[in-house]
Structure 1
Amino acid sequence: MSISMKNLDPAFRGAGQKDGLEIWRIENFKPIPVPTSSYGKFYMGDSYIILKTSALKKGSFRHDIHYWLGKDTSQDEAGTAAILTVELDAALGGRAVQYRELQGNETEKLLSYFRPCIMPQPGGIASGFNHVEVNEQEHVTRLYVCRGKHVVHVKEVPFARSSLNHDDIFILDTKSKIFQFNGSNSCIQERAKALEVVQYIKDTFHEGKCEVAAVEDGKLMADAEAGEFWALFGGFAPLPRKIRSEETGEDMEAAAKLLCFNQGQLEPISFESLTHDLLETNKCYLLDCGGEMYVWMGRSTSLQQRKGASEAAEKLLTDDSRTKSHVMKMIEGYETVAFKSKFNEWPPTPDLKLSSEDGRGKVAALLKNQGLDVKGLMKSAPETEEPEPYIDCTGNLQVWRVNGNAKTLLASAEQSKFYTGDCYIFQYTYTGEDKEECLIGTWFGNKSVEEERASAIKLASKMVQAAKFQATMARLYEGKEPIQFFVIFQSLQVFKGGLSSGYKNFIAESGLDDDSYSEAGLALFRIQGSGSENMQAIQVDAVASSLNSSYCYILHDGNSVFTWIGNLTTSLDHELVERQLDAIKSDLPSRSLKEGRETDKFWELLGDKLKYSNKKIEREQESDPHLFSCILSKGSYLNRSKKYITLLRMI
């Protein structure tokens, strides 16, 4: 199958430039935009491309591309969707992750876009079927199985008693009534999600005009609705004690196989250990893990190579009749955590940020080299690549300082000001996907006393109990805070000393000087952070040896304020120091000093000019958290990671 590459399809022009979903259906090898009013309506005989665009804080975008294949779609149509997905990714800068979605085996990521579920309808374009509107067709009794606590997988199963089991929830859709059958081993979260599906079926397929009934597994004919339900199956009979097919181990992860796409063919690569060194930047690879397949495309590969690798993956799955395998495609440098976790060794991700012009130029050059007309392809490009937000930052925050066995609520203006000798409790509530979420955490300063740490844990535990154990609890230590903490607080100032009774008693008993911060006293702060969302001011010893050319600093006493700009700092660092001035010392005018142009007064406050480090400090990259799944099957213990697991306390 070949496609003319002289021009990108006009349907993709301007795509991905605003937050939200965009959907195209494949018709005659072309992407046709789907009206917004029809989003979520999929036909079994069609193939679709779904683009999810997420707006990031600095005005840039993150893209995820899915191509959905109905169970009756033609092979040509499926292949077209796969190739057009590669083209769309190239148009968006080559940074998107691409997902192959099969009807009935969709990823949770895709299902999360369409609430409460996806329920494909019969019909299609290329398959020769006609699209049949729901209200035009004669109602047929159907039985569905629903699985999932967060997003729901809905699958039609044969209308027979043998389809039922004790572990799942089933929906029986008849012309006059919808029954929800709750298996005795199903949980309350799954039942709640299934009820949303029942309401969706009622509104979509019955125009809201039918009865709804719940049937509990184990209730016999004495219950009228249970009797009516079982009568549709020819009468009640006990269900066998069988387990779900997903739990039998049929889809267990297979040993990884690495294949290189070379001159139109897939060539297996032998290896003793799967490491990053096996991947070359000018080639495309397929990593076959059984239930999952990854297509990795080197940054130096051509668009034709990437399309060829995508076609090869489709052909491999078709030839092997693997109907449940997920396929994810990604460009070098933008690998997912799941992909990197398959390797025994993966180096730290390099800084691949591109300026707007640089990124636009490289993408345009790639496409132009393939004979494409790139004029008007992209009106703008992301300036920076940002991580996906971990937590909503628009919620409500409360902070308490632990004082002995009690806690003291801090005013809003003081919530980001912590002392290294104190312990704090914070409570953050925000709107989640389905309900209000609550996070309760403790923060321990490096010099806080053990008694108040224990008190903080006890007080926080009581708060979790008061929330009926619906809150998430976290324990954090100074200098080891995860990124979620800074997303919540936005800004943080850490002062020397402490204000709590426990800290005061400790230094008095130990005969130590109280060096707690005073606004009228002498203080030096090191400014750090990667952006306005996680800026920090850390008080350090007010001596010249505390300086470092890689940072900016704030120095003040009761009468004067200086900012010191290291020679190795960036414009972002300069912006952060100005913003931290407002939090630390906004009542006095400041004087900015560049390294090497300090005044005598500056050195006088620091005690004298001493030697300090002027070597560039490489900022540590935020490492990806890893979640490992372990499966018990037929008495054997299988650890999919095959690595030692360390349990960490983290959000």
Structure 2
Amino acid sequence: MQVFDLSSEHEESFSNGVNGNIDVAFKKINKSYADFLMWKVENMNVVALTKDQYGTFYDTESYIIYAASPFGEPSGTEAVTRDLRGKPIEYHVHFWLGQNTTPEKSGVAAYKSVELDSILSCCSSQHRETQSNESDRFLSYFKNGYKILKINDNTNDEDEAKLYKVKGKSIPALIQIESVEWDHFRSSDVFILKTTQTIFVWIGRASCIEERRHAAKLSEEMKERLKIPNIIFVDDGYEKTTDGNIQKQFGKYLPLEKRIVLPESGNDKEETDANRGCLRLYKCSDNNGKYRVAEIKSGPLIQADLTSEDVFIIDQDLNGIWVWVGRKVNEREKNEALRNARGFVKKKKYPSNTKVTRVVEGVEPVEFKMLFRLWKTDIPNAKNLKLPMLISKFDAITMEDRLSLAAETQLIDDGSGGITLWRIKDTKIIEISKDRYAHFFSGDCYIVLYSYHTLHEEKHLLYCWIGSDASQEEINITTTKLEEIDEELGQLGFQARIIQGREPAHFLQIFKGKLTIFNGTGTDFDETGKNLKGPSQYLLKVFGSTTYSAKAEQVDFKTSSLDSNSCFILRRGKKYYVWCGNYSTGDQREIAKGFAGKDFELTLEGKEKEDFFNLLGGQMPYKTQMIKNIYDKKPARLFFCKTSPLLQVQEILFFQQSDLLPENVMLLDTDDTLFIWMGKLSTREEQRLSIQGVMHYLQNDPSKRDMNMTVIHIKQGKEPPTFKGFFCKWDSKLWKYYKTFHKLKQEIQMKNTDQDSNNGYIQQKSGYSDFDHYEKYPIPTLREPNDRLPNKVDPLNKELHLSHDDFISLFKMAYEEFEKLPRWKQQEMKKKVGLF
């Protein structure tokens, strides 16, 4: 447990200007309005920017951003100013610091942010943002992208050559580089080189498809705005095999004899992902005039860890620092909270660009609440909130028409479709008869094929259910069989993996609320495994109050298994009892009766006959405390996924359907279900590794999620309404006109004024071979002895780590030709050039 005192000396002062006076620049703010405003620090003052300046930053400057919106709703450059009187509002204040800003400017931005927070009654979330390490919320404000430029003057410098890096998955950032030199290039990056006659788009070998697409679009916008005739695409390692004229133009600014392209970035992102789950909680206090920070716990946090009288710091390592301020803390502590968090960053020796955010009790943003498994919000004006819409019709056509209802209920239809059910026994798959469909056993695995009709077509879903006592061998066989069935049926596009106890609503619906799960395996009561008879004596706990939430699970046959919140079915031979706890509802009781057949004895808690407890081995204590579900339903979250080799994720706040890119595998986390969305252009390898990636994602979730969550694989174009409904607008034709990077590239090249610029070798390349997937190094590096080679170099195949151009310069042929040669000939050539 760490304890340390914080110094009050920081590069940014957070309180110099808070004196009760409102800066004239902030007088435009109306606290009851949704709004989005930006200011820049100039001459030690803040100056309001015009709307057309939003999204353009200069790396020598400091900025302040104000975003006010209804709770849980987006803000940003496209936000409409409107009156929100009577509605709960969340306020966010960001100050953004360019990497070359001055301490004086960053200081003004810091204390003016505190001043702005004071105007908002110290109820805003305050964010310290630094260039190239912006928060997901900051990025969400600029859906069309943002720019970070080098200079801020009025001189006409359009004749100068300029180099820009393109970064960002969902939100593109165009970042100007200080000089046009090879030293800035990495194989994982994409660059735009703007010259007077040509815009060159350099595509790093290991760059991601999103940044390539962003670069194509940004270069086209730049071309039109600056009236530049041509756009040329140049691929990493192929610069010397472009058309001679293009090579000459490009080499004028980036001489090819000086070409140095560093390998792709290291494992920083993977380390950051691994640290997602590392949380430590610190309590802050004044100690004889010193500000003391003491670690009080690590691991998963609960809301009760936070107390209204105190200030706490949540340390998420490189993922950022959160400082939470209780509502009873005085204004001075609220104002100084961010400053003290910065002191904490220094004390821990974290990088200076570590994200720091201050949040206030009662108005915490969703990103903060996600650090906790459960969270209860006292919502202001709760009486104005809409009640959920009641509906009894859940047929497929209704759910396709009302996608938000499908998402809320997680129902695809009313369960009236056709079912084929198989049970896995050893290495065989046995079809189950219809009269035994709803009898499952905890030691077994099952596959369910469900078929239903919409207005225009028949659709199919594949579920696999894994019992909590199933062997790993049977689980593996079930997974294999599931894939085989899917292939035989022409890839249905919907596969759900369900662990016992985590059954989703629609799965329960197809069994009409009668799913019964017994302990053991089906062969315990029937050696053939075909009839799947149940035991003649059992105690079942009944869950749910509707057909889409109901099931019954066998529990230990004793009184201590009872619970006053639930209903139970006791069977002894042919005798059935339905026991109803004091806190069970009428609907629960009606559902419970359905598990007992026609002849049963209804038993109410407290009015049991003596023989009831005798059947269970006598009276014992059991749970009698009322359970209330008072916690917030967590909102759905969308993540970009990349598996290399572990899953890396990046969240997209306030996501929309257009964020689902066909080249990607995406993860939609709805709190109780994980949807893995597989774009049509994503690789088979990424799809194959996605389930391992999901496990890695859950393991590293800071709130320590349930590892047995339902995981559903869906393919682009096969999305069920239960997925579509999480997107505010779903357009079934969206991808009809989708343009891949190569399509965008072709269209851009066709518009070039100089059509000769399209005739280079690089413009004819349609993609990258396996050769391009290897890390590339200079020739002298690869000629070093094996014990001095970089770790990623295969000493037996050094030629794979040459760039295309270096390969041709050494071997006088392309790798594709070399690959076809006999092995002895390859080795002879490698010896000749010093790579054997």
Q: Output the TM-score relative to the length of structure 1.
A: 0.59
- Residue 367 of structure 1: aligned partner: none
Tell me how far apart the structure 2 counterparts of residues 98 and 171 of structure 1 sit (CA, whole Å).
Answer: 34
Tell me how far apart the structure 2 counterparts of residues 152 and 255 of structure 1 sit (CA, whole Å).
Answer: 30
Shift of 1:118: 2.6
1:23 to 8, 30, 36: 36
Q: Residues 113-143 of structure 1: CA distance to partner in whole angstroms, max 9, x if unpaired? A: 544633246899xxxx89x9xxx99576432
- Residue 431 of structure 1: aligned partner: none
- Assess if the C-alpha contact under 8 Å between 2:323 and 2:338 holds in 1: yes
Shift of 1:282: 2.9
Tell me how far apart the structure 1 counterparts of residues 175 and 488 of structure 2 sit (CA, whole Å).
Answer: 39
Q: Residues 514-533 of structure 1: matches in 2 within 5 Å?
A: 515-516=533-534, 525-527=541-543
> Match for 1:457: what amino acid?
T
2:63 to 27, 46, 52: 46
> Match for 1:284: what amino acid?
V
1:616 to 615, 624, 641: 624
Tell me how far apart the structure 1 counterparts of residues 471 and 344 of structure 2 sit (CA, whole Å).
Answer: 61
- Assess if the C-alpha contact under 8 Å between 2:39 and 2:63 holds in 1: yes
- Assess if the C-alpha contact under 8 Å between 2:39 and 2:64 holds in 1: yes
1:145 to 165, 168, 172: 165
- Residue 237 of structure 1: aligned partner: 257
- Residue 635 of structure 1: aligned partner: none
Q: Residues 307-318 of structure 1: matches in 2 within 5 Å?
A: 307-313=335-341
Check if 1:199 corresponds to 2:217: yes
- Assess if the C-alpha contact under 8 Å between 1:258 and 1:268 holds in 2: no
Q: Residues 439-498 of structure 1: CA distance to partner in whole angstroms, max 9, x if unpaired? A: 98742124668886453121234478899999998865323x3xxx64775877640459
Shift of 1:219: 1.2
Tell me how far apart the structure 2 counterparts of residues 195 and 100 of structure 1 sit (CA, whole Å).
Answer: 30
- Residue 369 of structure 1: aligned partner: none
Q: Residues 83-482 of structure 1: matches in 2 within 5 Å?
A: 84=116, 91=123, 98-112=126-140, 114-115=142-143, 117-120=145-148, 138=158, 141-147=161-167, 154-157=174-177, 158-174=179-195, 177-184=198-205, 186-187=206-207, 190-203=208-221, 206=224, 211-224=230-243, 227=247, 230-240=250-260, 242-243=262-263, 260=284, 262=286, 267-269=291-293, 282-285=309-312, 291=318, 292-313=320-341, 323-331=352-360, 353=376, 355-356=378-379, 401-404=421-424, 405-406=428-429, 420=442, 422-425=444-447, 442-446=464-468, 453-462=475-484, 476-479=498-501, 481=502
Shift of 1:216: 0.8
> Match for 1:48: what amino acid?
I
Q: Which structure has more RCO (C-alpha within 8 Å, separation ≥ 6)?
A: 2
- Residue 566 of structure 1: aligned partner: 581
Shift of 1:161: 2.6
Q: Residues 66-113 of structure 1: CA distance to partner in whole angstroms, max 9, x if unpaired? A: 614152565323432355458759658xxxx65322233213454355
SS of structure 1 residue aligned to 2:588? helix
Shift of 1:177: 4.3
Check if 1:80 corresponds to 2:112: yes
1:507 to 512, 515, 525: 525
> Match for 2:329: what amino acid?
T
Check if 1:67 corresponds to 2:94: yes
- Assess if the C-alpha contact under 8 Å between 2:311 and 2:326 holds in 1: yes
Tell me how far apart the structure 2 counterparts of residues 561 and 196 of structure 1 sit (CA, whole Å).
Answer: 66
- Assess if the C-alpha contact under 8 Å between 1:152 and 1:193 holds in 2: yes
Shift of 1:163: 1.8
- Assess if the C-alpha contact under 8 Å between 2:514 and 2:595 holds in 1: no
Bigger Cα Rg: 2
Tell me how far apart the structure 2 counterparts of residues 32 and 528 of structure 1 sit (CA, whole Å).
Answer: 56
Alpha-carbon distance change, 271 to 206 in structure 1, aligned in 2, over 3 angstroms: same
SS of structure 2 residue aligned to 1:202? helix
Q: Residues 162-208 of structure 1: CA distance to partner in whole angstroms, max 9, x if unpaired? A: 22233322222445544321223x14xx1333322431453377359
Check if 1:577 corresponds to 2:588: yes
Shift of 1:326: 1.0
Tell me how far apart the structure 2 counterparts of residues 226 and 106 of structure 1 sit (CA, whole Å).
Answer: 36
Alpha-carbon distance change, 407 to 14 in structure 1, aligned in 2, over 3 angstroms: farther
Tell me how far apart the structure 2 counterparts of residues 416 and 113 of structure 1 sit (CA, whole Å).
Answer: 49
- Residue 553 of structure 1: aligned partner: 567
SS of structure 1 residue aligned to 2:109? helix
Shift of 1:296: 3.2
- Residue 344 of structure 1: aligned partner: none
What runs of 5+ residues in structure 2 fail to find an aligned partner?
1-16, 75-86, 389-403, 451-459, 635-640, 647-699, 712-836
Q: Output the TM-score relative to the length of structure 2.
A: 0.48
Check if 1:538 corresponds to 2:556: no
SS of structure 2 residue aligned to 1:69? strand
Tell me how far apart the structure 2 counterparts of residues 85 and 286 of structure 1 sit (CA, whole Å).
Answer: 19
Alpha-carbon distance change, 425 to 416 in structure 1, aligned in 2, over 3 angstroms: same
Alpha-carbon distance change, 15 to 542 in structure 1, aligned in 2, over 3 angstroms: farther
Tell me how far apart the structure 2 counterparts of residues 563 and 257 of structure 1 sit (CA, whole Å).
Answer: 47
- Residue 811 of structure 2: aligned partner: none
| RMSD after superposition | 6.8
> Match for 1:283: what amino acid?
D
SS of structure 2 residue aligned to 1:179? strand
SS of structure 2 residue aligned to 1:206? helix
Tell me how far apart the structure 1 counterparts of residues 438 and 119 of structure 2 sit (CA, whole Å).
Answer: 46
> Match for 2:96: what amino acid?
L
Shift of 1:380: 6.0
Alpha-carbon distance change, 546 to 497 in structure 1, aligned in 2, over 3 angstroms: same
Alpha-carbon distance change, 447 to 494 in structure 1, aligned in 2, over 3 angstroms: farther
Tell me how far apart the structure 2 counterparts of residues 118 and 578 of structure 1 sit (CA, whole Å).
Answer: 57
Tell me how far apart the structure 2 counterparts of residues 139 and 400 of structure 1 sit (CA, whole Å).
Answer: 70
- Assess if the C-alpha contact under 8 Å between 1:166 and 1:239 holds in 2: no
> Match for 1:328: what amino acid?
T
Tell me how far apart the structure 2 counterparts of residues 201 and 322 of structure 1 sit (CA, whole Å).
Answer: 33
- Residue 2 of structure 1: aligned partner: 18
Tell me how far apart the structure 2 counterparts of residues 113 and 407 of structure 1 sit (CA, whole Å).
Answer: 54
Tell me how far apart the structure 1 counterparts of residues 28 and 432 of structure 2 sit (CA, whole Å).
Answer: 58
What runs of 5+ residues in structure 1 fail to find an aligned partner?
17-21, 342-347, 361-377, 429-437, 632-640
Shift of 1:327: 0.5
Shift of 1:233: 1.4
- Assess if the C-alpha contact under 8 Å between 1:261 and 1:309 holds in 2: no
Number of aligned residue pairs: 549
Shift of 1:48: 0.8
Q: Residues 405-437 of structure 1: CA distance to partner in whole angstroms, max 9, x if unpaired? A: 4587999xx999966465234799xxxxxxxxx
Alpha-carbon distance change, 111 to 201 in structure 1, aligned in 2, over 3 angstroms: farther
Alpha-carbon distance change, 575 to 392 in structure 1, aligned in 2, over 3 angstroms: same
- Assess if the C-alpha contact under 8 Å between 2:539 and 2:569 holds in 1: yes
Tell me how far apart the structure 2 counterparts of residues 415 and 195 of structure 1 sit (CA, whole Å).
Answer: 49
- Assess if the C-alpha contact under 8 Å between 1:421 and 1:496 holds in 2: no
Alpha-carbon distance change, 205 to 541 in structure 1, aligned in 2, over 3 angstroms: same
Alpha-carbon distance change, 533 to 587 in structure 1, aligned in 2, over 3 angstroms: closer
Once the two structures are overlaid, the 10-residue window that deviates more, 273-282 or 286-295, is: 273-282
Tell me how far apart the structure 2 counterparts of residues 586 and 9 of structure 1 sit (CA, whole Å).
Answer: 69
SS of structure 2 residue aligned to 1:615? coil
